[in-house]
Amino acid sequence: MGEPLGADEQMKYVTFINDKKFEIDIDQDGSVKVNGKPRSVDFLHLNASLYSMLMDNASYEVLVEERDGGVEVQMHGRLYAGKVMDERAVLLAETRGELGEASGDIIIKSPMPGLIVLVKGAVGDVISKGQTIVILESMKMQNELKAPRDGTISAIHVNPGQSVEKNKPLLTIV
């Protein structure tokens, strides 16, 4: 079995966990630096997404799963959400402006399959954060979907009585 390409180089990763940024360098021999400071890490794969990590004798049972382009880490009864990018990915994201604030439009998507019971409002209506905009029936419950921020409804993509799949765009807020 040959050596991976670039194995003689240090790999640099930019990792965001709960929106906090860490620069993590991993050497060929597996040694780790965080923001330039060396860390002694013993990291073993146990099964599936379960890992055991020992760091300065502190023991962590960690689950790491990649999902929807990001990463979820479960550790000590807490779930962390983040993203790991290598240097190339960071550059690409910067040019696309993806690391900045979310742009103006927000598309409200269906969080689960269900039946649209009601769309509260019409195109052009001004809505405020927390206001119920759609009622979606699923899992035997009428679920109220609320506006994530203040704005104006610019488009409605569904009608009451319509069955929707998960992630179906319901309406757009500008």
Partner 1 sequence: MVAETQRKDIRKILIANRGEIAVRVIRACRDLGIRTVAVYSDADRTALHVRYADEAVYIGPPPPRESYLLGDRIIDVARQTGADAIHPGYGFLSEREWFAGSVTEAGLIFIGPPASAIATMGDKQTARETVKKAGVPVVPGTDPDLTDDELYAAAASFGFPVMVKAAAGGGGKGMRAVHNADDLPEALNLARREAESAFGDGRVYIEKLIVGARHIEFQVLADTHGNTIHLGERECSIQRRHQKLLEEAPSPFMDPDLRRRMGDMAVAAAKAVGYVNAGTIECLVDKDKNFYFLEMNTRLQVEHPVTELVTGVDLVKEQIRIARGRRMGLTESVLEPKGWAMECRINAEDPYNNFLPSVGMISTMIAPSGPGVRVDSGVYAGYAITPYYDSMIAKLICWGDDRGEAMLRMRRALEEFTIMGVKHNVPFHQNLLNSFSFIAGKFDNKFVEERFSMTTFEENPSEEELESAAIAAALVAHRNRQLAGQVVIRNERDTSNWKWVSRWERMNK
Q: How many CA atoms lie within 13 A of 81 on its CB side?
A: 5
String of contacts with partner 1 for each residue 45-64, x by CB under 8 A:
x--xxxx-x-x--x-x-xxx
What is Dmax (Cα atoms) for the chain? Answer: 63
- Please report how close the Cβ of residue 65 comes to partner 1 at its closest, in angstroms: 6
Selected range binding partner 1 among 93-101, 121-129, 134-142, 152-160, rule: CB under 8 A: 134-142
The partner residues of 79 in beta bridges, in order of sequence, read 74
As a whole number of angstroms, the distance between CA 108 and CA 9 comes to 43
Cβ closer to partner 1: 124 or 139? 139
Contact status: 99 vs partner 1 (CB under 8 A): no
Q: 126 with 50: CB under 8 angstroms?
A: no
Binding residue for partner 1, selected from 34, 92, 107, 126, defined by CB under 8 A: 34
Out of 41, 90, 93, 106, which residue is the one contacting partner 1 (CB under 8 A)?
Answer: 41
Q: How far apart are CA 91 and CA 93, in angstroms?
A: 5
